Structure formats: C-alpha cells, structure tokens
Chain A
Amino acid sequence: MKRYLLAVLMILLLVAGGAASAQDVTLEFQQWWEPELPEGAFRAILDDFEAANPGIKVVTISGPYLTTKDQIIASAATGTMADVVGLDGAWVNVLWKQGALASLSAVMMEAGFDDSELAAQIQLAGETYMIPIANFIYPVFVNLDMLAAAGIDPPSTRAEFAAAAAALTDPDNNVSGWAQPLSLEQPNGIQNDTMSWLWASGGSMLDDMGQPNLVGNEALAETMEFIKSLHDAGVVAPGAFSMKENEKVEEFVNERVAMIINTLAHFTLIRERNPDLNFDITALPAAEGYDGPRGLPYASWGIGIGANTEHTAEAWKLIEYLVSVEGNSKLTSIANAFPGNVNATPDFITTDPLFETAFAIFQEGYLANEFTGLPAAEELMRQFDEPFQFYLEGDIDLDEFLEIAQEEWEAIFE
C-alpha cells in the first residue's frame, strides 16, 4: 500500500515537473530599478505580467546602479547575460559595439508591434536597441523660502540666475546660490549640471554629422564662460570638484544651497528628508535673448534584449507589457517618472501640483540629452570634466580647455 502510494506520488511529481518544464519559460531580467523602488513594488508589476502571461516567469537580477554597466559587459563577454536588461542611455553604444544587444526593430516587426505609442527609441545604425520606458527630467529646484527672504523670483535667464545666486550666497551661514557636482568618479555632472545649460538655450555640443563640435562653438563657449563666472563669483558650493549628485541633493535638503539642477526622481526623497522644505521647480534658465524651446536634460530607464537570449519572443512580451499603457503607467507611477508610452498616465501628474508644473515644463520644451547613445558616453563626460576643472581653476584658458576636450573626444569617436 505504502509502496503503491509512493509510486503514484512519484509519477504525479514527474508529470507535474515535466509539464512545468515543458511550458514555463523563465526570463532573467537584470536591472538596478528594484532596489530604487519601494520594497516589493517592482515585483508586484512583474507579478501582474506573469498573471497575464501564464507560462512565463520573470526572475529579477538586481544590482547597484553604479556597477550595472560593468556587470552587463562582463556577463556579455562570458555568455551569461540576462534575457532582458535595464539600460542607461550612456551605455547603449558600448554594449551594442560588443554585440551584446539584440535589435529590437526586428523583434518588434516580427511581433507586429505598432511603435507609434513609444515616446522614443534609441537607435544605432538605423536599428532600435533600447526603448526608454521611464524618463526623469532635470529642472531647476529652487528653495522658495530663501528666494523670498532675498526678495527675488525664480530666475528664467542666465543673468537672472547669476544675480539670484549672488544674492542668495551667504558664506557666513554656509549658504551658496548653486551647487555643481563635478566628481570624476561619477562625471554625470557634466551632462546634468553643465551641458544642460547649453541645451536649454538650444545649443548643441555635436555638429550636424553627430561629431564632437567643441572648438569654435560659440554657444558652448558662452555657456562655459557663464559657468566660470559663477565659480569666480564664489556662489558655487565648496567641494565642487569631488561632489557627487547625491551630495548636491543633501546640500539642497539641508538648505545650504538655494538652487540646483536636479532630477524629478528625487522628488519624494527630498520631501521625506525635509518635510519643511518649501521648494518649487522651474525650467532651466536660457541665455539672454533666446526664446526658442528649451532642451530638457533627462535620464532614462531603458530596456533591451540580450543578444544571446533563447526566449526572444517571451522577452519581447515582457517589454511590450512594460511599455503598454497599463504596465507603463504602473511603473512610472511608482518611479515618479515621465512615461515611455505617450498614452500612459502616471497617477502623480494629476494629484501633485509640482508634477503639474513639471509636466508643463516638459511640454513646453523637448527632451535633450546628447550623450545618449554616444560611444563611451561616461568617458566623454570625464574627458570633458578634467580640462574643465583646470579651466575653472584658471590654469588654462577657454580655448585651451575646449581644444583639449575636442581632441580627447575625437579620439573616442574614432
């Protein structure tokens, strides 16, 4: 009897196991988003996906943001890359060169997907490799109480910004008008807090062919001179040359810096850190006389498919869900991001007045991040940062600085 039962049990187990292995596809999804989001929130979205797609299981492989790119490169080199990967615009080019990413154009075509709903696609050599599914724009955060005390309005031109920064700076009380993080470990300050000034005034750091255009670029030269004038006037928070993005935010939260260029993604964090902080956001000031649309720096959470995956169709299903109106709304709602699907509406846009302002800024301007998709984008920022520091310190003049940077950039573009 016992034996009989046991045999039945074993057969049942075998059948169940066989059935499961025949149908279930397990997708590995490598990203850095899960630890960034509230506990369990990301998993909940994936659970919804699994419920809607029986037979597909998603396993998350989560790591720290700063090492994710290195990890993807290493895993691609050893053939252990995940099926679906989270991507940053600054990494796409190198992974594409490595042959680590599958072309999404082909996959979308095969699946008969209508890509008109996508807000953007990152293309290289004419094919899509990354779809931004959540976008974080970088407006200027201003401390309203400090502005009110100084009797000024949020600035909308560079001259107004310089005047405001000077008026707000108060060294005796450790207060600076602006903070510019220029750490060489995380050189994204070049993208977010430096080049953004150029983009906001309609300028570009590239020429029509998409090649570096730093020398003889008047708009860029003016921007750099403007930033140097802020440093020379002593209105920039101390420690800029080693400051990182997160320290910039902590300085702002502690009311030692009155204005910062910062991602909307830090919105909840700033409110949680200092509930008494009275702040607002405004568009990045433009150069005098510029009244065209303002380029808005942004960062994205992008998504792509590993070139070695055996489950392309299932991987696409997951991406399709995350860019669909339903999935994208859910994800961007918890991430405080602007959606990658033009029809998705994250709930905060209607419930939070500050996000309404942000959305207005977003609609008046256009997304501008020229580093997205460039080769070795992070290294470009770093190679710009180094001579920039020498320039700010007064070791070299503007022309020398831009010539050095141009030379370094051209070497990378080769």
Chain B
Amino acid sequence: MVASRAQIRRAKILTWIALIIGACFAGLPVLWMIASSFKSNLEIFAYPPALIDHSFSFKAYLAVLGDPGQLRFFFNSYLVAIMVTICTVVTSILAGYSFSRYDFRFKRFLTLVIIGVQSVPPITLMIPYFGLIVWLGLYNSYTALVLTYMVFTLSYAIIMMTGYFNTLPRDLDEAVMIDGGGSFVTLWRILAPISLPGIVSVGVYTFMLAWNEFLFALTLTRTNDMRTVPIGIHLLMGQHSFEWNQMMALSVLGSLPVLILFLLFQRYFIAGMSAGSIKG
C-alpha cells in the first residue's frame, strides 16, 4: 500500500494544524508567565491586558539573580534533584526487573504495598514523618530530602519500569541466559540499554518532582542554606508584600535547567532507536 503524494500532503497539513493547536494549549499560559516576568507589578493586573507593555524590564530577573540566597536555592535544588534521580533510577530498575521477570510468593502483596505506601495523603503523614526524620538525626540535611523524594518517586518509578520491562519480549533475556549470562548480566547488558527511553522518562519524572516539591522541602529543612527553589518562590509571596514579577522570573529561571536537561535527553525519544536495537 503506497500513499499518494496528495494524501501525504494532506496528512502533513493536518499534523501541522494539530501540532500548533497543541502548542497553543501548552505554551500560551507559559508565554503569559514569561511576559509577566518582564512587567511591573502594577501592569501584571492591568486591563486590557497586553503581552508586552511600557513597563518591560529585566528588573525582576536582576533582583532574583542578584540575591545570593536565591542562587543557593538553585544549587540545593540541583544537588537534591540529581541525587534523587540517580538513586531512584538505579533502585527502580532493580525492583522493576524483579517484578517483571520473576514469579514469587509475595509478588502481588509487595506490589500492593508499593502502591499503598503512596496512597496515604502526604499532608497527613507530615507530622509523624517529620518526627521520624528528626529521630534519625537527618533533620535539615540533604540526605533527608533525597530519601524522602526517593520514597515519593519509587512507587511510580518501579511501576513504570515494570511496565516497560513487560513490553519487552522475554525471549531476549532467555537468549542471554542460555548463553550462560546470569540474571544480573541480562539486566544491565540487555534490558537496561533497551529500556533507555523508559529509564529516561522515569528520570525526568523523578527530577521534576524533586525539583518542584514544596511541603516536605520546607518542613524537613530549617535554615535557608538547605532550601530549594519552590521555597524561594513562596518566600516572595508574603503577608504584606508580594512580588508577582519576581515569582514569575524565579520560576522561569527555575524551569530552564529542567528544560535543558530534557533537551539533552530527548534523543532517547527519537522513533526507532530502541526498536532498532531489539532487531540488532
């Protein structure tokens, strides 16, 4: 079956229209955020609204970047998010492999436990969890944040890794096993490389959560030198003062590293890459 040129052309036009509608849906609110970050606080609420007005300036950015406290928030966010991502990805690959490739007695039970663990609303867990972290002597440390976010992200990461491994045919690892490779070899040499898209998407998710989480980041830390970007944003939203444009600027700045990271990793989403390696 060969599609005619006209058909392909039509399909292309339709795809473009859909892409642009989608981009408006996703991007216009963010465009408004960026526009607001360049406005004065007065003009942000002006009516009729304008995308760019006479108050255009970089003041909000300069205020945020000129504050060493804010830069420290960025450093902390990076450190915590990267640590969490590495730990969660490794742990979840191991667990996902176990759930996907083995049958064992407590499998269903453990799956339920892993789902159940994250079914308790975090807000109600906060006080007892906080008490535990203090008792463990981890209060106001990076370790506390890293471990907490691992607890938050592991459920998703494991369930998704199990899902991805399940989509891969079992003949693959059986072939390696027959060749004398152990299960560990199979996992790291064969399954993990093929599952790179899945691993990356789990990593992106984990990074985002750790980067954006607010409540526990605030509760488990005490001093501003341990705190992350979302707390910086909240600090701009005070009882008597509120800096809308700086809030917007800070969140635009905060999103850039995440976007860059995504750009770096997105080649793993390019069609056919993993499919090719299966065939090979």
Contact = CB atoms under 8 A, between A and B. Distances in A.
A and B touch in the complex (CB under 8 A): yes
Interface in B188-241: 218-219, 222-224, 231, 234-241
B219 A71 contact: yes
Interface residues of B, number: 29
A253 interface: yes
B45 A32 contact: no
A174 B47 contact: yes
A274 B218 contact: no
Chain B CB count within 10 A is highest, among A62, A136, A174, for: A62
A265 interface: yes
A80 B134 contact: yes
Interface string B108-145: 00000000000000000011001100100001000000
A253 B47 CA distance: 12
B235 A64 contact: yes
Given A74-B130, A78-B130, A80-B134, A36 B223 contact: no
B53 to A, nearest CB: 13
A62 B45 contact: no
Nearest to A80: B134
A301 B84 CA distance: 38
A273 B235 contact: no
Nearest to A270: B42
Contacts of B67: 39
A73 B219 CA distance: 11
A394 interface: no
A269 B240 contact: yes
Given A62-B224, A77-B127, A254-B47, A35 B134 contact: no
Nearest to B223: A61
Contacts of A66: 234, 237, 239
Contacts of A61: 222-223
Contacts of B32: none
Nearest to A251: B45
A79 B133 CA distance: 12
B23 interface: no
A80 B45 contact: no
B242 interface: yes
A254 B42 contact: yes
A180 B232 CA distance: 29
Contacts of A62: 224, 235
A77 B240 contact: no
B238 A250 contact: no
B234 A263 contact: no
Given A64-B234, A67-B218, A74 B126 contact: yes
Nearest to A254: B45
Interface string B34-48: 000000111011110
Given A78-B131, A80-B134, A36 B45 contact: no
A63 interface: yes
A114 B275 CA distance: 81
A413 interface: no
Contacts of B239: 32, 36, 65-66, 265
A174 B49 CA distance: 13
A32 B126 contact: no
Contacts of A73: 127
Contact of B218 (A63, A253, A265): A63
Interface in A19-72: 28, 32, 35-36, 39, 59, 61-67, 71
Given A63-B218, A78-B134, A35 B41 contact: no
Interface of B: 40-42, 44-47, 67, 126-127, 130-131, 134, 139, 218-219, 222-224, 231, 234-242
23 contacts: A32-B239, A35-B238, A36-B238, A59-B223, A61-B223, A64-B231, A64-B235, A64-B237, A67-B234, A71-B218, A73-B127, A74-B219, A77-B127, A77-B130, A78-B134, A79-B134, A247-B45, A250-B45, A251-B45, A254-B45, A254-B47, A269-B240, A273-B41
Given A61-B223, A273-B41, 7 more contacts: A28-B222, A36-B238, A74-B127, A78-B134, A79-B134, A80-B134, A273-B42
